[in-house]
Chain A
Amino acid sequence: NAGVTQTPKFRVLKTGQSMTLLCAQDMNHEYMYWYRQDPGMGLRLIHYSVGEGTTAKGEVPDGYNVSRLKKQNFLLGLESAAPSQTSVYFCASSTPTGGRAGEQFFGPGTRLTVL
Chain B
Amino acid sequence: QQQVKQSPQSLIVQKGGISIINCAYENTAFDYFPWYQQFPGKGPALLIAIRPDVSEKKEGRFTISFNKSAKQFSLHIMDSQPGDSATYFCAASMGGAQKLVFGQGTRLTINP
Contact = CB atoms under 8 A, between A and B. Distances in A.
Interface residues of A, number: 27
Nearest to B89: A42
A58 B44 contact: no
A102 B44 contact: no
Interface residues of B, number: 25
Given A40-B104, A42-B89, A42-B104, A107 B43 contact: yes
A32 B112 CA distance: 39
Nearest to A39: B105
Nearest to A101: B98
A48 B99 contact: yes
A96 B6 CA distance: 26
Contacts of A31: 97-98
Contacts of B101: 45, 59
Interface string A56-87: 10110000000000000000000000000000
Main secondary structure of the interface of A (DSSP, over half): strand
Contact of B93 (A35, A41, A50, A102): A102
B49 interface: yes
B39 to A, nearest CB: 11
Interface string A18-62: 000000000000010101000011111100101000001011000
A45 to B, nearest CB: 6
Interface in B67-98: 89, 93, 97-98
Interface of B: 1, 4, 6, 9, 32, 34, 36, 41-46, 49, 89, 93, 97-105
